[in-house]
Amino acid sequence: MRRMILAGAMLAALGGCGSGESTPAAPPVPVPPPLTDAQRATMLAALPAPYNTADLEHGAKVFARCKACHTATANGPNMTGPNLYGVIGRVAGTHPGFNYSKAVKGAGFAWDDDHIDHWLANPRSFLPGNKMTFPGLPDAEDRRDVIAYLSVEAAKR
């Protein structure tokens, strides 16, 4: 009996999490095959400066910090933060299945290199009222490399 009461209390507590507002889950997309080194090099070279000179390996290492809250693969799950697959060009606050803050939902822009750079520098000051607790990446090269990494490895293709 005690376990049933405890289980009921836990379910009630979990039911109170979040705002109750969520968007529908993203429909599955075809999972692309892994990129070859030649494809990565071509995609990197096609990026605008300074991203076309980025270090993708370093970008992957810096992005490892982001993996505590984000995935960046086709059909990857939302976690504490939304899946970042295809984030470049996506309108802020619109990834299906993620419950964004009002600040992000109302941002009114699409994610491009400049917006992501400013966001990563300091998410709190760039868009006050968002829920992201990450303090930011103060190093410009780290941000450049992460943006290039997302532009290549997490690009919809």
Q: Which positions ≥6 away from 139 have C-beta within 8 Å?
A: none
Domain boundaries, the chain: 32-153
Give pLDDT, residue 28.
80
pLDDT tens-digit map of 70-97: 999 999 999 999 999 999 999 999 999 9
pLDDT tens-digit map of 98-139: 999 999 999 999 999 999 999 999 999 999 999 999 999 999
Max distance between CA atoms of the chain, in angstroms, equals 65
* DSSP secondary structure letter of residue 122: -
Q: Which positions ≥6 away from 150 have C-beta within 8 Å?
A: 59, 63, 72, 84, 87, 88, 116
Q: Which two tokens stand for residue 123?
A: 């998410």
Whether the Cβ atoms of residue 144 and residue 63 lie closer than 8 Å to each other: no
CATH superfamily of 32-153: Cytochrome c-like domain (1.10.760.10)
